[in-house]
Each structure stands twice: as C-alpha cells, then as structure tokens.
Amino acid sequence: MKSITVALAGNPNSGKTSVFNMLTGARQHVGNYPGVTVEKKEGQCTHRDWRITFVDLPGTYSLTAYSTEELIARNYIQEDRPDVVVDVVDASNLERNLYLATQIMEMDVPMVLAFNMSDLARRRGLEFDLTQLSQLLEMPIVPTVGNKGQGRTELLDAIVETAGAERKERTHRVTYGGEIEDELLRIEETLGKTDGDVVARYGRRWLAIKLLEQDEEVTSKIRDRQVLEAVGQSVTHLRDILGDEPEIVMADRRYGFISGACQETIQSSVERRHDVSDTIDAVVTNRILGLPIFLLLMYVVFFLTFKVGSYPMEWLEAFFGALADGIVRHWPEGHAEWLQSLLVDGVIGGVGGVLVFLPNILLLFMAIALLEDSGYMARAAFVMDRIMHKIGLHGKSFIPMLIGFGCSVPAIMATRILENRRSRLTTIMVIPLMSCGARLTIYALFIPAFFPQHWQGPMLWLIYLIGIVLGIVAAKLLRLTVFRGETTPFVMELPPYRMPTSKGVLVHTWQRGWLYIRKAGTVILALSIVLWFAMNFPKPPADRLSGLDTQEARQEGLRYSTVGRVGLAVEPVLQPLGFDWKIGTALIGSVAAKELFVSQLGIIYAVESPDEDSPSLREQLRANYTPLVGFCVMLFCLISAPCVATVAMTRQETNSWRWALFQFFGLTGLAYAVTLVVYQVGRIWL
C-alpha cells in the first residue's frame, strides 16, 4: 500500500467541499490550522493499492500574501509539498477559476483539474474541448459533479496516475510579455548566485515572480541585499514603461493567457444573457423588496431554530430530567450524597443544560447550510452591507448577531461565515450583548415585580434596545481600537443560485453539530463541575444546620459555599450599583447559565420551587429592593459576564483563551460602568 497526500485547492463556491465529501465520505477530521482561525479539514480514502490523505485547503481566488487563507493555501503547497494538488474549478465559470490554476501551475507541483459542475456548464450551452485544454495546461482534466458523486473513480484514477508518473518540465506556461520576462530572467540570474536554501525550496521562477509582484512574505525570506536591489531596480523600471504596478500588469497577463486557452477550447452554443439566477436576483436584491425579503428569511431562520426547535428541546429536557430523577430514586440512601449531587446538579445540569440546545443548533446550521448552498447568503450580505459597514462590520455579520437573540453559543459558531478575522472577532465580542433567551427568564421575573402593567412591554423593549445600542457602540469602538485596520474591501462573488442537495446540507449540519457535542463533553463538562464545587463546598458544619428546615438548610449551605463567600466578599464592590450580597451570589451562580440567576435567588430567599412566575419571590424582591435596583440588576445581567458555554465557545472559535477572557472581563467591566452610572444618576434623579 502506497501512501500519498493530496491537497484540494479551488475558488470559494466552486463546489470544492462537495468534491472533498465525495472523495472522503464520512472519514473526515475537522480542526484548525495552527495559530489561526481557519478551519482545516482532512480526510482519507483508499483507491486500488493507494492510501490517500486529502487536505482541504481554504477556498481562495488567488494566492497572494494579502489574506490569511491565501497564505495558508500557498504555504501548504510550498512547504508541505503534497504529492498532487487537485484544483477544483467551476466549469461554468472557467475564466476566473482557471486564474487560481495558473498560479498553482507556477509552483511546479503535479496537478489534476477537477472540472466540477460540468453538468451545469453543459446545460448553459458551453462545450469544452477537454483534450486540447488538458494539453494546453499540461495536466489531466476530469469532469466531476461533486454533489451527485459523479466522476469519483475517474478523479481518483487521475490522482494516483499523476502521483506515480514521472515529473516532466512544463512547456506551456504563462508568459508575462517581453519587458517583464526580461526582468524575471534578470532576477532569476541574481537568485542563482545566492540564497541556496530558499531558492532550492521554492524554485527560481516562482521566487522571481513573487519578488517582482512585491509579495511581502516572499520578500522577507530573501536576505541577500543584491537580490533585493535587483528587484527594486526591475520594479522601478517596469513601473516606468508599463505605467502601472508590475503586479497588476502580471495579473492581467494571467487572464490573457486564460482567455487564449479558453478561446481555443470553449464553444458557447447558446448566447444567454439572462438566466434564472438573474431573474431571482432582480427580485431578492430589488430596491424595494430586497430588505423585506431578507427580514422575512431571517424570521424563518429564527422561527425554525427556536420555535420548531423547542419541541425536541423539550423532549431532551424531559429526558435529562428523567435521568436525574432516576439517579436520585435509585441512589442508595445515605451513601455519598455529594456524588449524587455532583452527578445530578453538576454533570447532568451543566452538560444536559447545554445539550438540550442541540436540536436548535442542528436546525440553525441546517438553515445556514441551506442559505449558503443555495447562494442566498451572499445576497443577504449584499443587502445588509451598508448598514453593517457603518459600524465597521461586514454585511454577513448580521446573521450571527440575529441568532444571538436566541443563544450566544450557536451565534458564535455562526460567525464562521465571516472570512475576515477582525470582522469575525469583533462580531464574536459583541454577540453576548444581543440579549439571549436565557436572560429573558430574568426579565420575566423582575419586570412584573417592579413595574406596573402598562410599563412592562416598553421596559422589556428598552432592555433589548440597550443591548443593541451597546453592541453597535462596542463594535464601532473595537474596530477603532483593538481590531483597528482597513475595513475589508467588499469584493464578493454572488454565486449563481443552486438547488441545495440534501446530502450536502446534512453533512454540513452534522459536522458543526458534532463540534458542539464535543464541546459539551469536554470544556463545558469541566467548567460545570468546577462551578458545582464552588456552589456546594465548603459545607457548613453540622451544628449550624441543626434546627433548620430543608429550605433554610439550602440557604445556609449556599451562604457558606465558595460562591456565597465570594458573593459576600464582593458586596462592597457591588454596593455602588445598589446590589447586596444576595444578588452578588446569584450573579456569580448565573455564570454557569443565565437562567440559574432566578433559581439562585429562590434559594437565597428560601422560596419553594422558584421560577420566573413565582409570586412569592416577586413579593420578596419588591420588599427588599427599589425599582431602580431592579432595573440595574436586569441591566447588569444583560451586559455582564457571558455564561460558561459562551466563554468556552469563544475560546474554541478564536483559538485563544485571551479573547475569551477579554470578552468575559470586558463585558463585565462594561456592565459595571453602565450600571454604576445608571444607579448613581438614577438615585439623585428619582
């Protein structure tokens, strides 16, 4: 059995993922490229007596040093030297797709071209002379239809054949025209005299091209001053005679090479100006209808995720409830009660509390996969871009922020649709300000406790509005400070509309759902156990509990625990906000999950079966606090400390504890500042 590694390259929207899925089936491993938030997918398959490992490179249009994804793809090919690079091209949009191919060709790796969506191209009236194109590009071309699984065997045959074949020197390549070729030759000559290591690894021609393009990354690899001087002279000279940057002219020439190749090998039998895609676009990006259609679709996504998802969610809740009951019922009386509590309250409460969201997550990702695979996602960004751009974000940021009103955890996962790192981080940081469903239970308890009937609606609306306004301000501030930098140019392809395939959508949904399950089983499990210990230990000595009933004993237990002590300890800090140690303790407990705030207050006020509709708890609150304090509590809960699951998700998606902690403490600090001002000003005013 021979083992080879094959890299999969291609434009976004070329159907690369479907080809990857077709080749590797379910045997995939999803991770991150080291140090960056770019997803790395690997998969395996065996073909004849070959064992093939596929690496799915990020989808890119080019291989410059200007974007992380392009750099990763390029470095993978150059540093890891895969045995074959398969370039997946969208046959119905050949010119732009071949642009990437010309750049991979220059890296001198064995290539195979997967002519994907060839069925669609034919239906559009395009006829290809693949034999001739294959000769021109000097690589095998295999027509595939990734989402229907067509062309798999042929593609694998071509891959192993290419891997086993002897390497030949290319005879056809992009020529950049007399003046540029002269300079390339000059740079190659200087390179020949020096920098042995780098030259051997990357090849002279490729280095010369990248140097002339003034590629920052490659230039930084060259130590020899002579080479750099020669490059400098060439660039100045070319700029003079071409009247433009060499890099731009060279990009033009690549398109020239492609036009030439296409001219000879493609025949368009029908002249079609407007197809179905154009007609759909005329409606969904229409000046009047565009926004309403977008909002309607977002409503459908929201409805599907949280309304339809609430039924399986209830079943799961019932299941975990039954599981906890079962444990309690069958637990041998008087044996290791703490272990029972750890299992029931800590593990099942914590992990179960997160896993019950799995149906919502799966439905949400199904909706997103449908929007992405159909091509609508790009239009949504197009429609929303102007508004989001004003706060320094990308049109696509709207979608995760909207999902944040349901739950921050899937919302943070949904930021994967954002390609730009700064936009993505900013969006992740402000998502907890979109008031999630769990926090609604707090408002539902407090608002009726403190405000008259006719104020209740506007109050709730005000809380949500404050979150949105703070989110906008925070995003803008972050883009001006921590995530400063040029706003990403909005140069985005609007892919033709396609009918999503059920297989593609399911694979997409499952991959992300599985990540979520794994998260619940690891980080969230660990943090839940830690928090359980903090809420239950140390135990009060037996003499302090004597003579107390169950309710009072629980109250005393919480007061004596680490969380209770911290609550007491931070009371002086919380006093300027109008909070006492009871609220402080409940706030700390709510870090596990926001809805715990209500049950914690219930324990503290020794109310039986506390929930947000509990009249006795409301009475207690009314008796102990002013409406101003009540409002401040809601404000603090809205802004402060995202829950454990959110912290864990931010950690995973940003690949760093730094951002997770920055978000946690940043938001808590913001909550403190805002609440302090509101309370102190309110006290004078009211």
Partner 1 sequence: MIFESTRSLSASLEDYLQAIFWTVAAKGAARAKDIARQLGVKASSVTGALQTLAEKKFVHYQPYEAITLTAEGFDEAARVAQRHFIVREFFVRVLGLDEAVADKEACRMEHCVGDDVAERLATLMEFVKAHPEMQSGVSQLLAERDHSDGMPASVRRGPVTVADLRSGQKAVIVAVRSGAALARRLVDMGLGRGALVEVEGVAPTGDPIRVKIRGYQLALRRTEAAAISVVGK
Nearer to partner 1, 95 or 127 (CB): 95
Q: How far apart are CA 441 and CA 173, in angstroms?
A: 65
Enumerate residues 6+ apart whose C-beta is below 8 A from 644: 350, 524, 527, 528, 531, 591, 592, 593
Smallest separation (angstroms) from partner 1 to the CB of 522: 39
Smallest separation (angstroms) from partner 1 to the CB of 413: 25
Nearer to partner 1, 49 or 486 (CB): 486
Nearer to partner 1, 175 or 286 (CB): 286
Per DSSP bridges, beta strands 111-116 and 28-32 are unpaired
Nearer to partner 1, 100 or 667 (CB): 100
Q: How far apart are CA 145 and CA 121, in angstroms?
A: 11
Interface with partner 1 (CB under 8 A): 61-62, 64, 66, 93, 95-96, 99, 214, 243-245, 247-248, 251-252, 255, 259-260, 262-263, 277-278, 281-282, 285-288, 290-291, 378, 381-383, 385-387, 389, 486, 489-496
CB 61, CB 100: distance < 8 Å: yes
Nearer to partner 1, 167 or 287 (CB): 287
Smallest separation (angstroms) from partner 1 to the CB of 277: 8
Smallest separation (angstroms) from partner 1 to the CB of 446: 37
Q: What contacts 24+ positions apart, CB below 8 Å, involve 239-246?
A: 241/179, 242/179, 242/180, 245/214, 246/180, 246/183, 246/212, 246/213, 246/214
Per DSSP bridges, beta strands 50-56 and 84-90 are unpaired
Please give the DSSP secondary-structure letter assigned to residue 592. Answer: T
What is the secondary structure of 116-164 as a DSSP string?
ETHHHHHHTTEEE-HHHHHHHHTS-EEE-BGGGTBTHHHHHHHHHHHHH
What are the beta bridge partners of residue 54? 6, 43
Nearer to partner 1, 286 or 624 (CB): 286
Q: What ranges in 331-375 are assigned the alpha helix state H?
A: 337-341, 353-355, 358-374
Q: Which two tokens stand for residue 400?
A: 């995760």
- Residue 82 parent element (H or E): none
One-letter amino acid for residue 432 of the chain? P
Smallest separation (angstroms) from partner 1 to the CB of 314: 39
Smallest separation (angstroms) from partner 1 to the CB of 285: 6
Nearer to partner 1, 125 or 521 (CB): 125
Nearer to partner 1, 392 or 496 (CB): 496
Nearer to partner 1, 50 or 61 (CB): 61
Cα separations (Å) of 127 from 132, 464, 498? 12, 56, 21
CB 27, CB 21: distance < 8 Å: no
CB 417, CB 395: distance < 8 Å: no
Please give the DSSP secondary-structure letter assigned to residue 46. Answer: E
Nearest in space to 395 (alpha carbons), one of 518, 491, 264: 491
SS3 419: coil
Smallest separation (angstroms) from partner 1 to the CB of 33: 21
Q: How far apart are CA 359 and CA 313, in angstroms?
A: 6
Smallest separation (angstroms) from partner 1 to the CB of 92: 8
Q: How far apart are CA 102 and CA 106, in angstroms?
A: 7
Nearer to partner 1, 379 or 439 (CB): 379
Smallest separation (angstroms) from partner 1 to the CB of 298: 14
Nearer to partner 1, 287 or 335 (CB): 287
The residue with tokens 């503290």 is 604
Cα separations (Å) of 664 from 349, 579, 634? 22, 20, 18
One-letter amino acid for residue 576 of the chain? P
The residue with tokens 């009540």 is 630
The residue with tokens 């390609």 is 419
Smallest separation (angstroms) from partner 1 to the CB of 201: 24
- Residue 349 parent element (H or E): none
Angle at 60 between CA 228 and CA 65, to 5 degrees: 20
* Straight-line distance from the first to the last Cα atom of the chain, in angstroms, rounded to the nearest whole number: 81
Smallest separation (angstroms) from partner 1 to the CB of 262: 6
Q: Which two tokens stand for residue 572?
A: 């002086």
Smallest separation (angstroms) from partner 1 to the CB of 282: 7
Nearer to partner 1, 77 or 94 (CB): 94
Q: How far apart are CA 199 and CA 399, in angstroms?
A: 46
Q: Which two tokens stand for residue 226?
A: 């002579």
Nearer to partner 1, 10 or 290 (CB): 290
Nearer to partner 1, 6 or 380 (CB): 380
Whether omega for the bond prior to residue 538 falls within 30 degrees of 0, making it cis, is yes
Smallest separation (angstroms) from partner 1 to the CB of 179: 11
Is 509 exposed, middle or buried (CB count within 10 Å of its CB: 0-12, 13-18, 19+)? buried
Smallest separation (angstroms) from partner 1 to the CB of 214: 7
Nearer to partner 1, 23 or 100 (CB): 100
Smallest separation (angstroms) from partner 1 to the CB of 391: 14
